[in-house]
Amino acid sequence: MKRQPKKLLHFLVSLVTILFLDSCSTINSDLTADRLALEALRKAVGGRSLLWNISNGNPCSWVGVYCQKNRVVELHLPAMGLSGQLPLGLANLTELQSLSVRFNALSGTIPADFGQLGSLRNLYLQHNSFSGEIPEFLFNLQNLVRLNLADNKFTGAISLNFNKLTRLATLYLEENQLSGSIPDLNLNSLDQFNVSFNNLSGPIPEKLSTKPANSFLGTRLCGKPLPPCNGNGTSNGGNGDDDKLSGGAIAGIVIGCVIGLLLILMILIFLCRKKRTKENAGVSDTTREPKPVEIEIPGDKPATDSGGNASSTGFGGSAAVAAAAVAKSSGSNKGLVFFGNTPRVFDLEDLLRASAEVLGKGTFGTTYKATLEMGMAVAVKRLKDVTVSEKDFREKIEAVGKINHESLVALRAYYFNKDEKLLVYDYMPMGSLSALLHGNRGSGRTPLNWETRSGIALGAARAIAHLHSQGKANSHGNIKSSNILLTTSYEARVSDFGLAHLAGPTPTPNRIDGYRAPEVTDARKVSQKADVYSFGILLLELLTGKAPTYSHLNDEGVDLPRWVQSVVRDEWTSEVFDLELLRYQNIEDDMVQLLQLAINCTTQYPDNRPSMAEVRNQLEELCRSSSLGHDDDTEDTLQTVSVDSGAPPSA
């Protein structure tokens, strides 16, 4: 009997060992299934960016793959240049909670086994070319919180089965080809909703009437928050008897018309007598205030850039410079205020008579190209959301006008009225760096070579360093590629400097873009070190060819510094650079030096970033060494980049 406890102990130890080994086997088996699913994805989609180190058996170390408890829970592959179709088999990622393949060129339908991803909470497929109807199996994803299918080619109707997704907080379906009406969605948790620019029609359901009007733009929908369906807010229903007018109503209409005609006749008689009196008194008609001139924009061209992310926004209306004429007719006779030695070859009236076209819609307003009758072209920015007083405005804008540098876009004049604030700049015919980098990536594109890109970086750095040298309080506040304009010889000219102090206290969410330093909470209070961060993003944009994109609320944006650092850590540094740069020989060393400078500029802690003067000096040295020629000894250069550890600066 005494030997039984010892036997029992051996049995328990053996049982625990078996269970432990079985558990390890299960974990390894699950991770193996995850790995096979990711390898199938890699084989199915094109694009150079999805270069995982397959020799490393653990997929948790691959770029864009995030694991918990040795299982893949998040897959983030935004803006990777992926093409083709998503394969079957991703449902094997049974613990997947977030999937983002947005801003790629994927096409086809959503794979049928997506309905088996029971743990999925966030699905971001926007800005691709997915097609077909929104599949019914998506409504099996009961844990789905955020669903973004915007800017694809989905067709068909919006299904009432969206009501099955009871936890859904975000539903973006804009810029597709959806048709029919919006069903009566009853989702209490739905906070963000957009179906704009679809072929939708009919009334907006009452539960969605509290959403903003821009959630329904570009459709034939009606009802709150859009205009009523029949023009007066009443129903078109009812029987024939209710629609007939009574005799009293008809009589009232007739009497009202007669009274209206009599009033019109009396007004005309009064005006004729007044005119005759003036003529008798010898008053000339030429002394009257000239009628405001309105300028029409041929074709209402869409904006080429709306925040530095190469996205275009269509908008119409008469030219902004014409609005100054309305302000003038309201009693202000103040004209353009010119700066320095700017030739006074035109005035406000010349500006009002100019032909104009939209160049772009940016953070601080809309910019127009105004071609004067004499043939001269200027750029006119119509400011919006100006919150400072007239005195403060004039003081701040005159301080901006006094800053002169060859790499800054010269501010020539301004116009101030309580309703209109206009700024007149030199016109840059080559447009912005953003348009040049991202506007046309097709076969007919002329690539930007290394010398051009590094020269643009140096010119911009010199301009910003000059701004910073004017005093510690001087910063740009809005550095991005759409604000780097180019001359005909591709020399950089920095624009929009000094305008952040004129704007409102908080920008709208879609203006918080990938250039903003993490410590910045108020757009009016951007430090010089925050400018350095934005300039570092600009350098990464020049090196990678990728544009930071606007982020939606609760939708993680493309973090360019984080992506670059993850690639560098995995020793795939060559995959960071734009393919257009890799075709040039003997520039690897220079590219890596510039990449290291960009990483230093975009470190998390401001005190760890260099000053713009130091950045300018390093760029000057880099461009100087480039012009003297390159050494052939570039072996292993692409493995020498170091990334910021994330540690705060030492005391």
- Which tens digit of pLDDT belongs to each residue from 486-495? 888 889 999 8
* pLDDT value for 314: 32
The three-state DSSP-derived secondary structure of 236-277 is CCCCHHHHCCCHHHHHHHHHHHHHHHHHHHHHHHHHHHHHHH
What's the pLDDT at 641? 62
Q: Kindly give the parts of the chain with pLDDT less than 70.
A: 1-29, 46-51, 231-249, 275-334, 341-343, 440-446, 503-513, 523, 549-558, 569-574, 626-651
CA distance 219 to 213: 11
Phi, psi of 303 (to 5 degrees): -70, 140
CB 576 within 8 A of CB 543: yes
| Interval 361-413: pLDDT, tens | 777 788 888 888 777 888 888 888 777 888 888 888 888 888 888 898 888 88
How many CA atoms within 13 Å lie on the side-chain side of 401? 20
Q: What integer pLDDT is reported at residue 167 of this predicted model?
A: 92
Position 298 scores a pLDDT of 31
Neighbours of 404 (CB within 10 A): 12
User: Could you tell me the two tokens for 451?
Assistant: 């010398």
For 520, residues 6+ apart whose C-beta sits below 8 A from its C-beta are 526, 527, 530
**What is the pLDDT at residue 45?**
86
Residue-level pLDDT at 510: 38
pTM score, whole prediction: 0.51
CA distance 547 to 515: 10
Q: What is the DSSP string of 30-81?
A: HHHHHHHHHHHHHHHEE-TT----TTSS-GGGSTTEEEETTEEEEEE-TTS-
Q: Are 435 and 305 in contact (CB under 8 A)?
A: yes
pLDDT tens-digit readout, 109-153: 999 999 899 999 999 998 899 999 999 999 999 999 999 999 999
Conformation bin of residue 79: beta by default, left when phi > 0, alpha when psi is -120 to 50: left
Peptide bond before residue 59 is cis, with ω within 30 degrees of 0: no
- Taking the CA atoms of residue 584, residue 590, residue 592 and residue 597 in that order, the dihedral angle to the nearest 10 degrees is -140
pLDDT of residue 570: 58
User: What is the per-residue pLDDT for 94?
Assistant: 92
Task: Please report the pLDDT score of residue 492 as a whole number.
Answer: 92
Sheet holding 411-416, edge to edge: 337-338, 411-416, 421-426, 377-383, 365-371, 355-361
> How far is it, in rounded angstroms, from Cα 515 to Cα 619?
20
Using CA atoms, how far apart are residues 433 and 537, in angstroms rounded to an integer? Answer: 13
